[in-house]
Amino acid sequence: MVKKRTSKLFHGLMALLLVVSVFLPALKVSTVVQAEELPASSYTMKTVSTINNNKLVDGAKYGEGKFYLQPTYSFPNDVTLKDGDYMVYHVPNEFKIEKDSVTELKAPDGQTTIAELTTSRADNTATVKVTNAAYFANLSENKAITALFTVVWADSVKLNTPYQIDIPGDQVYTLTRIVPDDDPTGFTKWGVQDSDDPNYVNWRIRVNRYAKSYTGVKLEDTIPEGQVLASEITGYYFTEWNKAEARPRLEAAHINVVDGNHFTITPNGDGTMDGQGLYILYKTRLTAPVDNATKKAFNDVKATTDQETFDVHGFAPLTTTEGIGSGAKSDEVEFQVKKKLEGKTLEADAFTFQLIAPDGSVTEAKNDAEGNIKFPTVKFSNEGTFKYQIKEVNDNKKGYTYDDSVLEAEVTVANVYGQKIASVKYKDSKKEFTNSYAAKEAKLQLEATKVLNGKAIEAGQFEFELKENGAVLHTVSNDANGKIQFPELKFTQEETRTFTIAEKAGDVAGVEYDPNAYEVKVVVKDNGQGQLVATPDTKNITFTNVYKAASTDATIKAKKVLNGKELVADAYTFELKEKDT
């Protein structure tokens, strides 16, 4: 429709490892703005820094534990959060992210997903992205998002050297990396999460570190529920801890595995340890989530001797419970990767992916709305190493650029005391496909018609302006047929724009100019096939001018001739008449 215009009109609880707190209800926000990295001026950020659940102490010395960084982003009430808005936490260079991960952040109800935490080893960053703007629009006061992730000492940090470490949102700490060895009894157990596969914990038991004389030594190891023995049990004897010497091996005959959670060891077969200690190594697999309050896996051992008994409590700080199997059998693997789409909201079942087995057989799966790609569970009956490939199917949808990467997944199946233990590891930790979508630009040429009443129109006789927000974009003239055609406009995104077309007042004599200005609203939409389409709300704009000749004075003269007599002044009278039509 054509409109004539004469004037201008115009968020403490913790869910899983992560906590999001949003308090008092408030106003509903309807502003739609493009998502972006939020500037620091739009929030405040405070970080709680701990190691093994203990607050960091300035000037302290720490070993190879897990450092937990817990930033809380608080937003003023007048800040509107949009889907896709994000904050990037830059980890100090003295620490490193251990694992690439993508984790959903929940609201206090533990059910509603409101944000996403992505940790990147390559960038050494943790990014929090808003995924539920409607939640924050409904609860718009005291908005806050708290994320929790783990870091460890960076490889570049030297032992016994103090470092000034500026932790964003906390303070500058002077910390020193050390190798602690506090062992008053000589009987110790500890665990370290496997760096290649976080579903495994490497356990270490040190027996009789100070090489005292003991008899009747028996070790009873009880692996708790939620873990299962996942490797052979090995070890060696020593006469002095960390001394470079010959180290006799622990004999398999002195190990008695009762089941996947219990085993005993009788050193030297008779329990005699005279002037020697024993170092034991084995691995467990996590089969259930651990306690998120402690963020540790526990594992105890009881050392009984004729002289005394030692109850040794071991633990392993964990990076995350993300990816730990829940209810899955140990000989089954579920391949899971992620899909990311740039330039457009990802929809469920939009893309197809193939899992290619070593024998060439193919299994297909589609992404869900969150970008998760889960293939049907694969069961492994034989031990060994099995290499799989994951590819995306390029179905040539218009406007999309496909990720042609081939993800490589290696499944290792171990036979541990008769039980098959399967684990999967992705090459270079790459588990994501990224596609992009970009619709082609739309083009539109606005036109109008010029009519001149009272006179034939001439090419270039009148000028017309195309304006936007008061600024002149183009000035053109009519052609000999009265056609007015403006240069082509280009549109590169979905939007609505309003233009004005008006005639410039000229000075052609006798012409009454059309004073009207016409608004043209142009709506630009993606047709879903990779093409933007620009549609104006009108196509019939006509400017009408009127030509009227101006009045003027004219003198009509005639001459009187009299034959045969001299003409005398005023002798005759004459009349001027208009011819009848």
pLDDT tens-digit profile of 223-282?
A: 999 899 999 999 999 999 888 899 999 999 999 999 989 999 999 999 999 999 999 999
| Average pLDDT taken over every residue of the chain | 87
Q: pLDDT band at residue 107, thresholds of 50, 70 and 90?
A: confident
Residue 410 has pLDDT above 80, yes or no: yes
pLDDT for residue 418: 63
pLDDT for residue 322: 34
Note the pLDDT tens digit of each residue in 154-180.
999 999 999 999 999 999 999 999 876
* Domain 332-436 coded CATH 3.30.2020.30: no
SS3 assignment, position 133 = helix
Question: What is the secondary structure of 514-560 as a DSSP string?
Answer: P--EEEEEEEEEE-SSSBEEEEES----EEEEEE-PPP---------
Decide which of 109 and 329 is more confident. 109
Q: For residue 170, how many C-alpha atoms fall within 13 Å in the half-sphere facing its CB? A: 22
Cβ-based neighbours of 270, under 8 Å, separated by 6 or more = none
CATH class of 40-177: mainly beta
137 sits in which H/E element: helix 133-138
Q: Do domains 40-177 and 188-317 have the same CATH topology?
A: yes
pTM score of the predicted model: 0.50
As its CATH architecture, domain 188-317 has Sandwich (2.60)
- Cα 46 to Cα 36: distance, rounded to the nearest angstrom: 21
Residue 139 has pLDDT above 90, yes or no: no
Q: What mean pLDDT do residues 513-542 have?
A: 93
CATH fold, domain 442-547, is Immunoglobulin-like (2.60.40)
pLDDT for residue 580: 67
Residue 391 has pLDDT above 90, yes or no: yes
Domain ranges of the chain: 40-177, 188-317, 332-436, 442-547
